[in-house]
Structure 1
């Protein structure tokens, strides 16, 4: 019995040693013990009255949360990932709805990302040139028939360069269009140049082919018995161009202006009645900073042609003003904007707060 016990102890020791040897030499993929992980977010909520008849204030919760992680691949290359939620709407917020991508970066060359993110051109259109609700006029990509560029787009590969000589940086992006076909493609690029400390110049373009701008519909029977015919998707090609500047003649003053133009050529009209549409827009603003306070005045304008004829339905205008104050990095603001189209205007009032964590 004693020898049997000794043999059992010996066998257990040998088995344990063998397992330890296997574990020590096993190949493990993706160990994350030394990864750098960050949880971040933006708190942003406001009460807004759009000035519509018989409508009052509503709460718009644009708060979001995200996760970032990074892992060194070599001494000079780092792998990284970001996953970010979307705005908090009535149905909640989906994780991954906003910028969600994986990539690699290096201090000597820049970064390449794969996934869902802002396009290079829209990154400029969105900020600062659409600030203080000027986007209602300057950024109308949300409206069917005026969607001449993408905003946040999946199926994208984007390269962002380093800042060369503290003066020039650029971004390039390619990807699928709005459908998974060989002919549906997307290309975009932007460049920023700072020739002197007080001035930064921006330029960008975006081109897409076989893009779905309005989805079709099946045939339907109305309550009165009439039949509504089916409609095909509205599919076409677009080209958009952008130029802008940011001027800071002194620390307390920033003036910014931008111009963008876009063109749509139909392949299949679908629910649209035209073959070609062109839209031009510009925005201009002045920001004055006084301690923790910020004063902003802005103006944006859009005009357009449909099939070569001036189209008043594409005329939009925004005049906006904002006063904001930062309470220990918690920015609270009052924003008033007059939006007008077809000779009619609506006065929007927004009160809100936002801060980062």
Structure 2
């Protein structure tokens, strides 16, 4: 009798625990496929900036993320991703990189909503800004040169499947600099592979109500002295266009080239010294792979105009070289970049680092 009583208590406890669990469950039991992934990326860099004595610094671009997917029907899958990265002095915030929810199907592609790379910047960033060519070809980090966004948090994006093993495209839209009806952006990209050895890219991005918030662009008087920075924001419309190609004549050799142009027209000039600005830039590079070794050379150039007049302050060039070795997929590299612009006067940037995925 005592054993029966004990078994009854155990059974009651199990039922209570099960009932409590069911009380907090929404939907069915968790049968989603969950993946933890990441990239280890850390490097020591010396920018050798003229007039600065910063010396060597560690830059930690390591990132980690979580992906999950769950079938909704036989042809539709729901999926999500949360990713963090770029470790600063205060760490890295979960979700500061691509973090979204979406739906996908084999026949119609995928639709995502949340924080993502824009279609244009996805091409600008890689591979056309590789080996630190982005210091010239990707200068959205400079005030007054942000003619396209990189990631946007309130964005919807559609990515098509590959049609005929040749064509795919992406479309995106969302809020611009501000979250209101007068500040929006729209963009898209297309990739075409007419033959196995060649891929062509094109992209665009248009934004309304773009805000250069602090008006602090470095601008110069005719005698070379620095103008006092403004305090009132400049607000206007931006547009950017991009074309590029990847040519692979051999399995271990490729050549890449891209051109992008951007413009800004202020509707409210604020304290800025100009109303209109135009920027053109291009990059070219070649990669050669020999076993576990990788050799890369590249060149990028940017020029610009303010109110129709050439502005040498916008001139920038980067000459880059890289040698790397893959130790069982752990890639270790040395990058040298000769940088020439207003901030870097023929300064040689040196970067040594390692990258690998998990």
Residues 264-315 of structure 1 show CA distances to partners (whole Å, capped at 9, x for unaligned) of 0001122321110000000000000001100000000000000000000000
Q: How many residues align?
A: 337
Q: What aligned pairs does 1:1-357 form with structure 2 within 5 A after superposition?
A: 29-31=26-28, 33-52=30-49, 53-215=52-214, 231-342=231-342, 344-357=345-358
List gaps (5 residues or longer) in structure 1: 1-11, 218-227
- Equivalent position of 1:8 in the other structure: none
Runs of 4 or more consecutive aligned structure 1 residues displaced over 3 Å after TM superposition: 25-28, 228-231
Note if contact 1:145-1:214 (Cα within 8 Å) is conserved in structure 2. no
Give the secondary structure class of the aligned counterpart of 1:133.
Answer: coil
Q: TM-score, normalised by structure 1?
A: 0.88
Q: TM-score, normalised by structure 2?
A: 0.88
Note if contact 1:101-1:113 (Cα within 8 Å) is conserved in structure 2. yes
List gaps (5 residues or longer) in structure 2: 1-8, 217-227
Shift of 1:73: 0.6
38 and 71 in structure 1: CA distance in 2 versus 1, 3 angstrom threshold = same
Instruction: Return the alpha-carbon distance in structure 2 between the equivalents of residues 231 and 321 of structure 1.
Output: 40
Instruction: Return the alpha-carbon distance in structure 1 between the equivalents of residues 211 and 39 of structure 2.
Output: 32
RMSD over aligned CA atoms reads 2.7
Residues 313-350 of structure 1 show CA distances to partners (whole Å, capped at 9, x for unaligned) of 00000000000000000000000000001592110000
Give the secondary structure class of the aligned counterpart of 1:123.
Answer: helix
Note if contact 2:230-2:272 (Cα within 8 Å) is conserved in structure 1. no
Shift of 1:216: 6.2
Note if contact 1:40-1:66 (Cα within 8 Å) is conserved in structure 2. yes
Note if contact 1:214-1:271 (Cα within 8 Å) is conserved in structure 2. no
43 and 32 in structure 1: CA distance in 2 versus 1, 3 angstrom threshold = farther
Structure of larger gyration radius: 1
Note if contact 1:174-1:186 (Cα within 8 Å) is conserved in structure 2. yes
Note if contact 1:331-1:354 (Cα within 8 Å) is conserved in structure 2. yes
Residues 203-258 of structure 1 show CA distances to partners (whole Å, capped at 9, x for unaligned) of 000000001122369xxxxxxxxxx9983322110111000000000001010000
